[in-house]
Amino acid sequence: MTVEMSGKNEPIALHKVARQIFYVLKQNPTMTIPMIAEKLQVSTRTVERHIKTLQQLKLLERVGSTKVGYWKVV
């Protein structure tokens, strides 16, 4: 996966689960953390941890509230 950083495409190594979460949310941005955890057969805590990493890398952004919001894949 490559990310645009300061005008250059620099590859960023993501954990396998983080990559899967990214693609799942790209297909369906309204999925909840428990739904993602069930789909990928990992714990909700694992999903939370990887989502936090994706947000820090500016690849994922939460728009709206917990109940009616969605994930914006940047």
pLDDT of 5 reads: 44
Output the pTM of the full model. Answer: 0.79
List, for residues 22-69, the tens digit of each pLDDT value: 999 999 999 999 999 999 999 999 999 999 999 999 999 999 988 889
CB atoms within 10 A of CB 18: 23
Structure-block tokens of residue 73: 């894949």
* DSSP result, 3-36: EEETTEEEE----HHHHHHHHHHHH-TT--HHHH
d(CA 34, CA 66): 12
The pLDDT of residue 74: 85
How high is the pLDDT of residue 3?
A: 47
Length of the chain: 74
